[in-house]
Amino acid sequence: GINGREVELILQDDESDPKKVRSSLQSITSSNDVDMLWGSFSSLLVPAGSAFAEQEEIPFVAIAASYEQNRIEADADWTFIPFPHSRDVVRGTRNTLEQAPESATDVAIWEPNSGWGEEMAATWEEVLSNAGYEIVLRERYSIGSSDFSSMISQTAESDPDILLSNPTPNGGITAMQQMEAASYIPDFIQFVRAADPFAWWSALGESGRSVCMCPGWVPGMTGNGNEALYETYRSEYGEESEYPPVMVGASYNLTQVAEQALANADSISPDAIQEQLQTRTFQTVTGEFGFDDVGRPKEGELSVPTGQWSEGQQRLVSPQTEHPASMDLKYPIDSWDER
């Protein structure tokens, strides 16, 4: 419970369908006295939950939604996303690349044809160009594409040190398989979103090794409750479960935000909870941060961990810590014949 008060958690499966998100929330709120809404997950589903929460004026927290423009356009008062947004992800990329040699300066960007794809590509280009990197390729492609051969050929011809994109998991997996077939790989790859789930390693195995991701939390983080997270996870899933999946940490962070808001509110009225979310600084497994006026973590406050696949696990490479799951960035990543 929270402050001695019992908490009831009501769960429904939204089936990864925005319409189901809304109908599930309508069902839950029509038959229960709901103080706060959590979820859903991803930039496709979270806006549906947010729109419902804004209409009903119920505090809403969610993760795994990095698209900033829809947060700005929605001008939401009741929605809070304790998760890296595009500007944070790019800051994480910049921090990670500080471990690469100074000669690693040429960047290729694969841009999915979506609002978030364009936003990520533009932010990468602006921030990295200002930091002295050269964007040698920025190529747009269709989400759902199963043929990356032309883009791989263009990228190989541009000869970048660094490849950045935010493909879907299926798109990222297909791209890696086709890069291997073409015997091409750059020295650094960050596939935001695509490399987040364990499906990445299940599908690719060693072919997916050393690809980086930015999923909001990575095993190896310390402080702000991380030790309790590791202990709780091991007690639930067994001592052999040393490193939780990345979304366990991101979800734990959401729950810490909710708990701290509820524990410090004068009451459990929506207005009192909303005030805490708008004004409080939160200490979570992803760091210390408050929210800005559209429900994003304030710029520069949220810790933005970058992970890299190694031996079937996602390992923390930035920021580095003393935790055994933290390691130095693998750069350059191994060529195909070394895997």
DSSP code string of 181-197: HTT---SEEEETTTTSS
Stretch 203-232: mean pLDDT, rounded?
96
Q: Are 204 and 194 in contact (CB under 8 A)?
A: no
Is residue 3 scored above 90 in pLDDT? no
pLDDT tens string 16-73: 999 999 999 999 999 999 999 998 888 889 999 999 999 999 999 999 999 999 888 8
Percent of the chain with pLDDT over 90: 93
At residue 254, the pLDDT reads: 96
The pLDDT value recorded for residue 8 is 94
Q: What is the dihedral of CA 108, 73, 272, 27, to 10 degrees?
A: -90
Q: Residues 213-233, buried b or exposed e (16+ Cβ, 10 A)?
A: bbbbbbbbbbebbbeebbeeb
**pLDDT-based confidence at 136, cuts 50/70/90?**
very high
Question: Above 80 in pLDDT, residue 241?
Answer: no
pLDDT (average), residues 115-132: 98
Mean pLDDT along residues 243-252: 93
What percentage of residues in the chain have a pLDDT greater than 70?
100
Confidence of residue 7 (pLDDT cuts 50, 70, 90): very high
Give the model's pLDDT for residue 86. 97
Q: What's the rounded mean pLDDT across residues 258-265?
A: 96
The per-residue pLDDT for 250 is 94
242: pLDDT confidence band, cut at 50, 70 and 90?
confident
